[in-house]
Structure 1
Amino acid sequence: MHEGQTLRVERLHDAPAHETAWTVAAYETPVSDRTWVLTATGATPAPVLEDLLDHLAYADGWDTTAGAPVDEKTITAATQPLTEAGWKHTVNGRWIRWTSPAADAGIQFDAFAAQHPTHTLTTWTVWASPDPDHPTWTLTASPRTPSSLLANLSENLAHGTGTRQIQVTGRDRRTSLATTPPAVPAVMASPAASRTR
């Protein structure tokens, strides 16, 4: 829990790989309803989780203005790294989808859910798998999830974090970050850690 008691991270250690294992929730005050929520399944790769937790710990602006609607500027800011990396952009009814050039990961935006900023409906869905209907791992976010947090996640996905394959030689077997359950991210000492959060 953040010292201001307005940001909470919960980890369910025994969650199956395809069920929610991580929940990040932000509140305007310690006793108010959720402002935004982000979840990640148990198979979400450790590099993705580490970057998410680092962003929450050290970045400014993880909170959002109460009632701030999701607009074109927010969507553009959140997905700019994907556009720059050549991800395919499609629109299908209420959904806007960005798919990696290798078609092994994607982000989907639900325009209907975004019209309800006071709710914590799933507005953003991130997945890794050639088949988005059967993802290896997913991450979901509600309408008021900060665009800076989403842009950071997009940047990592655009560079292959959590989707790339690692090949090793010898007796070691081939390992896929997309299917390997994560270790709990280690807390690393850094100059930023000495700052008051």
Structure 2
Amino acid sequence: MPYAPADAHVTFALHPDHHPAVIATTSGPTSDAARSHLHDLGWRSTGPTTMILARIDREEPYYTARAAELLLRYGFTTEIGPALQEKIDTEWTLGDHPTPSGARDEVREASSDAQRIHDDIAEGHLTIHLHAHDGHTTVAVGTYAAGVRRHVHLHGENHLRQIVSTYDDEAAAIAEFHRLYSVAVRPGPAPLTELEQAVRRVLREEVEPGRQSDVLAATRTAPPAAGPGEHEQFLKSLLDDSPQWEQYRTWGDHTTIASHESLTFRAEFDHEARHRTDAAWTIAEYDGPVGERLWHATITAGTPVPLIQTLLQHLDAPLPVGLSEPHEPLREAEWTPSGYPARTTWRARNQTIAFEHVAHATDDRWILYGGEDLDGAAWAIRLSAGVGHDVLTQLASTAAVLAAPPPTPARRAPLGSRLPTAVPQQRSRVR
């Protein structure tokens, strides 16, 4: 067994922008030895002290756990961030996979084979001559630079790609491919899938020194969250101290409904919501007392009370925000944006809160959540299409304060006192 002194430390954390990719940050006199072991396990260097594991089979947490176990046996010390540990401990859903039994180990082995094919293509060990679409997925013919199975037919994409035929002769492999797929055949490799593009993009990125502290902070900093009973206390205060909100009876004791005097705002609170994924609040705005619903929001248990307070108080007495975009308070607070084809995510520097915009979604057009990723979020506020820029901007401002409070919070006026009483006004909406 290789020997390594126990004076090198490896910290594993989810990549702040590309989940579930994992960043390993190394430190200590023998960190080069640790990096060598990680390289053999498929990790790639992106900086003097950082390495990244990004796979097309989305199994980074599983292989990170195996890497950590191996490093421990070699004498290194390791640390795994809480969000990543939750990913490791969570049993994923198998879904559809072309394996005879569908057993977890068999699926994982097939996905690992697909990962090796992807790596061989990316590293130039497997040259793709032709590709086609068979009506269901991508197929291809290629040649390995060396090995027993030199000429192969491939079927599938991403983690479903597999070798379906092998040939001793390149000309025979190409001729058979033309016979099978005829006019659908195209020269060269197929365009990269979105997942392949994301994986190669993250492997090319170098983690800047300023962002390494963000990654380390993500392993230790928990997102702000409401304590037991805080939502109940806020609801009671809202109904007792705000005469414009009136409580309505319901058929059961587990739900309280508060209606605004304008009859255009309604808030429903579920007293039995306990788990981090349970919706504790449902808030909606209507186009008049008997009009259609313009937009709605769901808020899970554990969401910090200042965010709920901001949302309800802003509905009651909106502040003018001009033409500013919702992300402007986040830009000023030095949050980091990351763009994808379908969404944009802004993250606090300490990775405790994120604000996500899914441009083409209807129900979850905007999502504000606590934690490193949405799947394991400590809490979440989901807002539908139609919500106004002013509402979003105020939520973003409060989130920025929660993620990075000023050095003298005792001198700040309470949130409620900063929101002036005003006559409700017409608000622009995001469609």
Give your verdict on TM over 0.5. Answer: yes
Of 130, 133, 158 in structure 1, the residue corresponding to residue 372 of structure 2 is 130
Instruction: Say if 2:286 is the partner of 1:44.
Output: no
Aligned to 2:313: 54
Of 32, 52, 57 in structure 1, the residue corresponding to residue 291 of structure 2 is 32
- Whether the 8 Å contact between 2:299 and 2:382 is mirrored in structure 1 is yes
Q: 1:191 to 1:21 in 2, by over 3 A?
A: closer
Q: 1:191: Cα distance to partner? A: 10
Of 251, 273, 295 in structure 2, the residue corresponding to residue 15 of structure 1 is 273
Of 324, 327, 346 in structure 2, the residue corresponding to residue 79 of structure 1 is 327
Q: 1:98 to 1:50 in 2, by over 3 A?
A: same
Q: Distance in 2 between matches of 1:191 and 1:155?
A: 13
Output the amino acid matched with 1:10.
E
Q: Secondary structure at the match of 1:77?
A: coil
Q: 1:191 to 1:95 in 2, by over 3 A?
A: closer
Q: 1:26 to 1:85 in 2, by over 3 A?
A: same
- Whether the 8 Å contact between 2:319 and 2:419 is mirrored in structure 1 is no
Cα displacement string for residues 17-76 of structure 1 (whole angstroms, at most 9, x for unaligned residues): 321111111111222321011111111112222222222222257xxxxxxxxxxx97x6
Q: Distance in 2 between matches of 1:191 and 1:154?
A: 15
- Structure number having the greater helix percentage: 2
Instruction: Say if 2:392 is the partner of 1:150.
Output: yes
TM-score (norm 2): 0.33
Q: 1:190: Cα distance to partner? A: 10
Q: Distance in 2 between matches of 1:126 and 1:191?
A: 21
Q: Distance in 1 between matches of 2:384 and 2:309?
A: 20
Q: 1:4: Cα distance to partner? A: 2.3
- Equivalent pairs counted in the alignment come to 155
Cα displacement string for residues 131-164 of structure 1 (whole angstroms, at most 9, x for unaligned residues): 3320000001011111111101101111225x87
Aligned to 1:65: none
Q: 1:159 to 1:143 in 2, by over 3 A?
A: same
Q: Distance in 1 between matches of 2:347 and 2:418?
A: 34
The root-mean-square deviation of aligned C-alpha atoms, in Å, is 2.9
Q: 1:191 to 1:149 in 2, by over 3 A?
A: closer
Q: 1:196: Cα distance to partner? A: 7.3
Aligned to 2:402: 160
Output the amino acid matched with 1:56.
L
Q: Distance in 2 between matches of 1:24 and 1:39?
A: 6
Write out the 4+ residue segments of structure 1 that deviate beyond 3 Å after TM superposition.
188-193
